[in-house]
Amino acid sequence: MAVDPARLGSLLQKGAGPLYMLLGEEPLQAIEAADAIRAAAREQGFAERTVLDMSAQSDWSALDAAVRDRSLFASRSLVDLRLPTGKPGREGGERLKAYAAAPEPDIVLLLQLPRPDRDMRRAAWFKAMESAAVVVHARPVPPDRLAGWIRERLAGHGLRITDDALQLLAARVEGNLLAARQEVEKLALAGVREIDLETLAEATADAARFDLFGLSAAALRGDTARALRMLEGLLDEGQPEPLILWVLARDARLLVQIVERRAAGANDREAFQGSFGEQQKALRQAAGRLDPARARDILRRAARADRAIKGQDPGNPRQLLLDLVARIAGRPLTLSVPELETV
């Protein structure tokens, strides 16, 4: 069953299904759809959550363990299975195919994938999942609908905007929905209710405020000093640590995908599929200095920071974020750790 992200909420109100396949072509749509599925599962008693970040090189017995070894106090659980490369390998493909044929009734399995290419769609495991799961394809908002999307977001905060200000705001975010959400939230915090060109300029004129995407791009380009200064600024401004980490982890997953595709012999067009514009330029610079092992290490460290932010790890979230940014930029602040636990 395929469902548009806009209709997912009403579907989830009827009850969480056993299997969801989320195709994350557009980052914000994907993260909000995943959040909605996880929230619905929690509300319906799936209290325990296991996160698995997998690839073709992973030990896929971890999926069996997550299904089998559940807490005695939480018989219903959610397994958040992330496959950023979209390639589970032979073993992973067989396990996914088998699970799709017989999903566990007391588990919600959320399989998160990148934008599907032709090879992924032709794979037997993908076809099996597609037949058994609720499929949510998080696509970009078309350019002719972006202004309407922004207007709806503003209306959700009780804000009205003139047509000319709306067109300027839509042009400014260049189709980037997460950037659009940031702008909407800034306007909501500015204390205005009616937005015209003048109030839009005043509300967004503070150049000292650091941009989340600028942080990730600076780190990917290897500009360590600027990236660390931007992160300090964001943290001091009170930007939520989970949101900062989400942006960094999103680009880290793309980076892993790119360097693994390159290592497998893919050309640049195939390797950089799913990245665009300035983001792709920054990713190219990072991919030029990282091999797959170092890229995966960055992703593991992002997972460690995630656990610290959630209070599941004794680490200092601020220090772990600083080290993560420096490591993406190529100048780690801490010594290498031989092996980090994955989520």
The answer to whether the beta carbons of residues 213 and 248 sit under 8 Å apart is no
**For the whole prediction, is pTM greater than 0.95?**
no
In this structure, are 54 and 125 located in the same domain?
A: yes
Query: Does a structural domain hold residue 337?
Result: no
Say which CATH number the domain at 230 has.
1.20.272.10
What 3-state DSSP class applies to 105?
coil
Residues 140 and 176: their CA atoms lie apart, in Å, by 8
**CA torsion sign, 285 to 289 to 292 to 295?**
negative
Q: Last residue of a domain, which of 111, 138, 165? A: 138
Taking 50 as the threshold, does the pLDDT of residue 19 lie above it? yes
Res 73: pLDDT = 52
Rg of the chain (C-alpha set): 20
The answer to whether the beta carbons of residues 137 and 25 sit under 8 Å apart is yes
Residue range of the domain that includes 178:
143-203
Domains of the chain: total? 3
Q: Mind giving me the DSSP string for 270-304? A: HHTTT--HHHHHHHHHHHTT--HHHHHHHHHHHHH
Residues 217 and 211: their CA atoms lie apart, in Å, by 10
For 159-218, write each residue's pLDDT tens digit. Answer: 999 998 898 888 777 778 888 888 888 888 777 889 988 888 776 544 334 567 788 889
